[in-house]
Structure 1
Amino acid sequence: MADKSTEGFYEVFEVFSKRNEKTDMQYQFSLLAPNHEMALAMAQENFMRREPVIDIWVIKRSDIRKMTEEEKETLKRIDNKDYRLTKGYGYLKKKWREYEQGVLDENEILSWGEDKDATDRKRTTS
């Protein structure tokens, strides 16, 4: 258990690091320090001995805010926006194939007229 005299002296800090320009920040660990400067120095000392990093973030745990249940409710979608998701377009290839099979092209329609005229001419000449 913490001593009453040091209880308010140390604060919990969360440490994040980035290995190179292409990677994202990753959570590493928590540490106890009296202030931001000391927390950063402790995080640098820990990482410089172990692995190369290009950036370190040190954040006081009390500064991290979590969303309330009411705020989470505002993130839910009220209306259907499936058209924004790629899965919403999966049926289009099938639809297009059905459309192409059902559509008569101009040459096909004209060929019907020629066949009818040709058979009519054969009847009249015979």
Structure 2
Amino acid sequence: MSANGRDFYQEYEVFSSKKNGAPMQYQFSLLAPNEEIALVMAQENFMRREPAVDIWVVKRSHIRKMTQEEKESLNRLDNKDYRQTSGYGYLKKKWRHYEQNILDEKEILSWGGDES
């Protein structure tokens, strides 16, 4: 590709939503000379494969990435494993044990004895 070709085409990222109110999901990248043609290309490429109610086309250069320093700030200094759902795996077993010990209606009625 010539220097002029690289300047002519820009990279775009395509996102879509399948239903109203559904989150946008990343689909693919494409090269286009401008936003209008990028949107038409995204519609043509995407709509052939599956339905969509909305499509976003974003120039890649407009997407801001985190710096390495910002990424490092995401690491937690303290241990807060309790925030992770994997830490609650024991609850299913505990709940099953609890349910097995619950008295059912027949057992409770059997305690009544005779009222004759």
Q: Please give the range of the TM-score, normalised by the shorter of the 2 chains.
A: 0.5 to 0.7
The structure with the largest alpha-carbon Rg is: 1
Code of the aligned partner of 2:10: E
Aligned-pair identity (%): 63
How far 1:33 moved relative to its partner?
A: 0.8
Pair 1:31–1:83, CA change in 2 (3 A): closer
Q: Output the TM-score relative to the length of structure 2.
A: 0.63
Q: How does 1:26-65 map to 2 (within 5 A)?
A: 26-65=25-64
1:5 Cα deviation (Å)? 2.4
Taking the aligned partners of 2:23 and 2:4, their CA distance within structure 1 comes to 39
> Over residues 20-44 of structure 1, what are the superposed CA-to-partner deviations in whole Å (9 max), with x where a residue is unaligned?
2364322222111111121112111
Instruction: Map 1:1-126 to 2 at 5 A.
Output: 2-21=1-20, 23-86=22-85, 87=87
Deviations along 1:68-100, one digit per CA (max 9) or x if unpaired, are 221111111122323434526959x7xxxxxxx
After TM superposition, what 4+ stretches of structure 1 lie above 3 angstroms from structure 2? 21-24, 82-86, 88-91
Q: Equivalent residue of 1:24, what SS? A: coil
Taking a change above 3 Å as real, the CA distance of residues 83 and 56 of structure 1, as seen in their structure-2 partners, is: same
Distance change >3 Å, CA 80–CA 51, structure 1 → 2: closer
Alignment TM-score, normalising by the size of structure 1 = 0.58
Aligned length: 91
Question: Aligned partners of 2:3, 2:84: CA distance in 1, in Å?
Answer: 55
Report the structure, 1 or 2, having the larger helix content: 1
C-alpha distance in structure 1 between counterparts of 2:63 and 2:31, whole Å: 16
Question: Gaps (5+ residues) in structure 1?
Answer: 94-126
For structure 2, the 5+ residue unaligned runs are 95-116
